[in-house]
Structure 1
């Protein structure tokens, strides 16, 4: 597909990187020549120095025959206008990044007028992911599938865990529970386990099941933590705002520490139920005075990765139930495993994954529809959800009779609201929602699971 990206910042660069790896024809339009030169060093894609709201620049980039244009500059207005102009020129689909809460709340009324096929808000998406994790504090990561009926959870194996030293087939016999362990991260190694795989201390497991089954399983293995009721957030940016709005209905006491006085005033007005503290969140004495040790969750959301990492490492020494760290730079993301941080979230990575999912859905055949796509365990494993229709080649056939690719699992089948953890005798039927776990990064359709 021919894809044009307006803006070569962190988000635009990450999106272009992922899409070019999937062999799309990608062009980036960027005003800053230094940014363009940096992109060219790391990516073999076309770059145009110019303004994305300039008609001639869009024509030069090939907007008239583009399959997709993505506006992701730091300006919401430029992103929306570039999409509008590109649609007028002839671009088939447009996606705009819109971060301002005031603009985002109005988009339902003007989305069609602007010719927007999709609007994405990285901060809102990141906040929703954080809220799911705070609802399920035992988890490192929580992703919903099949309209929330199924969840994929990542969690860590500690020394005292009864799973340490157990083989997969032993786990199934002992706990007799309807969950599937679908991926294991061991140090830098990531793999899809089989029945003989033995769980080790410090492994990170990814499991698929209903929320109720997951809660029961984690209680059985001693890894379930109490519900979060008090949260301390350092940093009062957009993610903090959206996180508080997401949590406000859950009866959670929230405290934000922010060092910019105007930001504090704005947050106090827009979030009347949240306690906003004016001060430097990196000040250890201030954190202790404001009750860090009594907090059940700590979220570091400053604009500086180094601060977030150090704050989270300090919070970990206080035995807080859940610590969440925002990291933007890829350099730090590659190092966080060594810091032994609990949950690390990158808004730009989340955004890029959503865009890739959207692009893949544009390529879908008539056999299935791609509903969801998440990358887990350092983005080395993909979890995909397809809705199957009658044109699919594998409908009605037993899984044991299919030549399914190695390093690929059918994690779950949802049929008329019922969750099925499949075995060899299971079949995939018309209308099923099927969740696939795979190390292959080129699965575009349910039929692609076959060798």
Structure 2
């Protein structure tokens, strides 16, 4: 596909990197010559200096032949106008990053009036992801599929866990819960396990199943924690706003610590059910005064990775049950995990995964088959949801009689509202929602998991 990305900041760069790696013809427009040069040199793609509102820049980038334009500048208004202009010049599809909460309730109107095919709000998506973890604090990460009927949950194996030293076949025979061990991360290795795999201390394991079955498994392991009742958010930006709004509506007691007095006043008006504290969230005295150690969870959401890292480590040292840190730089993720903070949120990666799903749906010649896409295992594997169609191969054939490609696993099937954790005797039927785990990063269709 021919794709133009306008704006090569954090989100734009991440998108350009992933989309070009998947074989798309990517061009970038940025008003900064330095940013354009950096993108061109490191990604080996065409980068042009110019404004996303410039007809000349869009034409030079090939907008008339473009399948998709993605506007990711820091200005919502520029992104919207850029997409409108590109559509009139011939771009087939448009995606705009729109972050301002004032536009959040106008999505349908904006899409209709401006001809936008997709609107993405990175901060809202990040807040939703954090919210899922706060509702299931035992987990390091929670992804949902099939209208939340199926969850994919990551957890760390620790010394004393009942599954340590047993192979998965034996574990499944012992527990008899309808779950499936889908992926294991051991050091730098990502494994799609079979029944002979033996979990070890330190492994990051992903399991799939309906929420009640996953809860039963964690109770069996002695890991179960109830939903967080109180949370302290350090940093009062847009993610904090969306998170505070959503969690307070669920009855969670939220306290937000923000350094800007003006922003505190804004949040106080916007979030009447939250407690807003004016102060430096990295100041140990402030954190002691606000009894950080008594919180059910701490979420660090300042604009600086270093501050988020230090505050998260401090909260972990106080043994706060759940600590989540926003980190934008990938090179910090390994450090923070080694120090005991497993739950990391990256808005740019959340956004990239959403848009990549959309791109793959567009690229799929038989229709929008990719329903959901989540990057897992630090981006080294994917969890995808497909809808089986008449053109899907091997319909009605038992799994034991199908040749699957290496490094793929069917984790769950949702059929008429019922969840099936597949065995060799199960099969795929039309209209099934099929959740697949893949170590490949270029899966566009359910047929990609089968040997021809």
TM-score for the superposition, normalised by structure 1: 0.98
For structure 2, list consecutive stretches of 5 or more residues without a partner in the other structure: none
CA RMSD of aligned residues (A): 1.1
SS in 2 for 1:277: strand
Report what 2:387 is aligned to.
387
1:333 positional shift: 2.9
1:407 and 1:336, CA in 2 relative to 1: closer, same or farther beyond 3 A? same
1:103 positional shift: 2.0
For structure 1, list consecutive stretches of 5 or more residues without a partner in the other structure: none
Report what 2:68 is aligned to.
68
1:11 and 1:209, CA in 2 relative to 1: closer, same or farther beyond 3 A? same
Contact residue 182 and residue 409 of structure 1 kept, 8 A: yes
1:390 positional shift: 1.3
Q: Distance in 2 between matches of 1:37 and 1:281?
A: 36
SS in 2 for 1:111: helix
1:387 positional shift: 0.4
Q: 2:439 matched to 1:439?
A: yes
Contact residue 362 and residue 368 of structure 2 kept, 8 A: no
SS in 2 for 1:148: coil
Report what 1:286 is aligned to.
286
Q: Deviations over 1:104-147 (max 9, x none)?
A: 22232232111100000000000000001000000011011011
Q: Deviations over 1:272-320 (max 9, x none)?
A: 1110000001011110110101100000000000110111111011111
SS in 2 for 1:147: coil
Contact residue 367 and residue 392 of structure 1 kept, 8 A: no
Question: Superposition pairs for residues 363-374 of structure 1, below 5 Å?
Answer: 363-366=363-366, 369-374=369-374
Q: Distance in 2 between matches of 1:199 and 1:160?
A: 12
SS in 2 for 1:113: helix
Contact residue 367 and residue 445 of structure 1 kept, 8 A: no
1:338 positional shift: 2.5
Q: 2:13 matched to 1:7?
A: no
Moved more, 386-395 or 116-125: 386-395
Q: Distance in 1 between matches of 2:191 and 2:396?
A: 29
Question: Superposition pairs for residues 263-412 of structure 1, below 5 Å?
Answer: 263-366=263-366, 369-412=369-412
Report what 2:236 is aligned to.
236
Contact residue 312 and residue 325 of structure 1 kept, 8 A: yes
Q: 2:143 matched to 1:143?
A: yes
- Give the count of matched residue pairs: 451
Q: 2:169 matched to 1:169?
A: yes
Q: Deviations over 1:58-112 (max 9, x none)?
A: 1111111110000000000000000000001110000000000012222322321
Q: Distance in 2 between matches of 1:157 and 1:340?
A: 13
SS in 2 for 1:424: coil
SS in 1 for 2:51: coil
Q: 2:388 matched to 1:421?
A: no
1:368 and 1:434, CA in 2 relative to 1: closer, same or farther beyond 3 A? farther
Q: Distance in 2 between matches of 1:368 and 1:283?
A: 49
